[in-house]
Structures are given as structure tokens and as C-alpha cells.
Amino acid sequence: MDYRNHLIQSLSLNMDILRRFVSQIPEIKLHLRRGERFWTIYEHVHHLALVQPMLFRRIRQFVKEEHPVIHAFTPNPEEDKKQDAHLKPVHELLESFASWREKQVDLIQSCNEDVWKRVGEHPEYDQYPFETLILHILAHDGFHLYRMEELWLVKDGSLSKL
């Protein structure tokens, strides 16, 4: 299997990894705030679900544009407050994540060599080739999975300050 297929397979596998991982966490731990500056596990899952449509749009931008100009993701605290007022069950967030990830994977699988060679502009990156976008999605998944694991299992004095 070539490298690109490994990336695509990894994106696809993360749907099941996230779902299985979160299903093991007791409900009471999902909303536990471990410190003033820490997100809850639920907030990490919520964030992962929330950003998937934006990531899909970035992939689609690479498909449609020769030299896409990507805008930085800027969280909207007011919108987050509105969404927090209507807490969705975690299984709905996981289904949303999976649905959008399937769309992303399908779109990436349809990309030809020209798309994989494209380089976009992003205000936070020196270079932003299509492959970097895919790696960024994987790294983003991994970062939040790591933080959720830490919040679930690590003792208070050993939590990292990230």
C-alpha cells in the first residue's frame, strides 16, 4: 500500500478509534472539568465533531482551486455558547464526526495526482500543500485523543499543562 493510501486509511480508522475510545469512558467522566484551563472530554469530542465540516471545505477547496487560500480557523465564543446551551448526546457528536469523516475520505479518494501536488496558502503555515492538510487532520485527531486519554486516566498531579 502506498503512502497516500496509508493516510486515507488512517483517517478512516480514526472514526472507529474515536468511537470505541469514547464508549469506554464512564458518562460521569465526560463532563468532569479537571482544572480551570482544561477542557472536558465532552468538549474535546464536541470540538472534533464541530471542525469536521470546516476540514471538508478545505479539502474541497483544494479539489476546486489550483492555489487555494485557506483561512485560519477562528473559534467563535458566542457560537460555542449557543451550541453549549444545547448539549448533544455524545453518541450524536460521534455520529456527526463519522459522517463528515466519511465524506472527507470519499473526497480524498477521488483526488487525482494534480490535487495531491497542489500547494495552498494558509496564514499560520510557511507551506500548506494538500498532503499537509491531510497530516494536519490526523495530528489534530491524535492531539485530542491524547488529551481525552489524559483527562480520563491520568492522576491530577500528573496532568500536562498543554
d(CA 117, CA 81): 39
Task: State the CB neighbour count (10 A cutoff) for residue 156.
Answer: 7
Per this entry, what is the length of the chain? 162
Q: Which domains does the chain have, with CATH numbers?
A: 3-157 (1.20.120.450)
- Extended strands (E) in 70-118: none
pLDDT tens digits for range 74-118: 766 556 555 554 689 999 999 999 999 999 999 999 999 999 999
- 1 — pLDDT class (breaks 50, 70, 90): low
In 3D space, the residue among 56, 45, 47, 53 whose CA is nearest the CA of residue 22 turns out to be 45
| pLDDT in the model for residue 133 | 97
Quote the pTM value.
Answer: 0.90
What's the rounded mean pLDDT across residues 123-149? 96
Which residues contact residue 40 at a Cβ distance below 8 angstroms, ignoring those fewer than 6 apart? 30, 31, 32, 33, 34, 151
